[in-house]
Amino acid sequence: MGLNWKAAIDSVPILNKAALLTLELTAGAVAIGLVIGLFMALARLSKKKLLRAGSIAYIDFFRGTPLLVQIFLVYFLVPKLLNWDTLPDNYQYIAGVLAMGLNSGAYIAEIFRAGIQSIDRGQSEAARSLGMTQGQALRYVILPQAFKRVIPPLGNEFIALLKDSSLLSIIAIQELFYSAKIIAGRTYQPIPMYIAAALYYLIMTQLIAQWVAYMERRLGKNDLR
């Protein structure tokens, strides 16, 4: 199997740049997803019916439809909703990060909900019995403990998100997969290019996995159970 690796090696600077963009897109989506996720988890656990129903509808929609479809939907819907006549420069990045963030928000909401519910009821009872409001109990007692427990599933979500960012190539975002595909087409060397792309993804997901393991160790050091 005579593979020509020259194209892949020559494209390292471009792939580096593209990989960095992939990381940035993922980081942006994670940030949005964490905020939405926390809010939706709390809404889902709220005593108010309307909040609960809204949260469930949100989660059902973004978990029950393909990310690919959501990317297109957001891409076309946002300018319509905001009445934009012309799209801003680099609009596809905004749409891409937003779509991924909205999508991961649904998954992260469920992760947070599970984490909050896994904390023994006695913890909030103890906090409430000391006169703390529900918000104070959540902030000082429940969430710090829940956060520790959700780090492993959050790590999974971040890794999935990083890989899924390859879907953003569909709206012409020049992230890692997009760049590999373009070069593969130009040089007629698809196999080396996609192997290179796979290696880049693997390295990045490994970095996330390592970071998650580190966080888990650091936050778990006072937790002998």
Partner 1 sequence: MIFVKNLHKYFGKLEVLKGIDCHIREKEVVVVIGPSGSGKSTFLRCLNKLEEPTSGEIIVDGIPLNSEVNVNAIRREVGMVFQRFNLFPHMTAIQNIILAQEVVRKTSKAEARKIGLELLDKVGLSDKADEYPDRLSGGQQQRVAIARALAMKPKIMLFDETTSALDPEMVGEVLAVMKDLAREGMTMVVVTHEMGFAREVGDRVIFMDEGIIMEEGEPNEVFAHPKNPRTQAFLSKIL
- List interacting residues with partner 1 (CB under 8 A): 120, 122-123, 125-133, 136, 140-141, 144-145, 148, 222-225
Instruction: Tell me the C-alpha distance between 105 and 123, whole Å.
Output: 26
Give the CA angle between residues 52, 56, 62 to the nearest 5°: 145
To partner 1, the closest distance from the beta carbon of 52 in angstroms equals: 19
Give the nearer residue to partner 1 in terms of CB position, either 2 or 131: 131
Give the nearer residue to partner 1 in terms of CB position, either 1 or 224: 224
To partner 1, the closest distance from the beta carbon of 116 in angstroms equals: 14
To partner 1, the closest distance from the beta carbon of 122 in angstroms equals: 4
To partner 1, the closest distance from the beta carbon of 225 in angstroms equals: 7
Instruction: Tell me the C-alpha distance between 135 and 143, whole Å.
Output: 10
Give the nearer residue to partner 1 in terms of CB position, either 67 or 127: 127
Instruction: Tell me the C-alpha distance between 173 and 25, whole Å.
Output: 10
Give the nearer residue to partner 1 in terms of CB position, either 16 or 133: 133
- Residue 75 burial (CB < 10 Å; 0-12/13-18/19+)? buried
Sign of CA dihedral 204, 208, 209, 210: positive
Distances (CA, A) of 35 to 31, 44, 54, 63, 108: 7, 14, 16, 17, 9
To partner 1, the closest distance from the beta carbon of 121 in angstroms equals: 9
Instruction: Tell me the C-alpha distance between 181 and 12, whole Å.
Output: 14
Give the nearer residue to partner 1 in terms of CB position, either 83 or 222: 222
Cβ distance 20 to 91 under 8 Å?
Answer: no
To partner 1, the closest distance from the beta carbon of 146 in angstroms equals: 10
Give the nearer residue to partner 1 in terms of CB position, either 77 or 130: 130
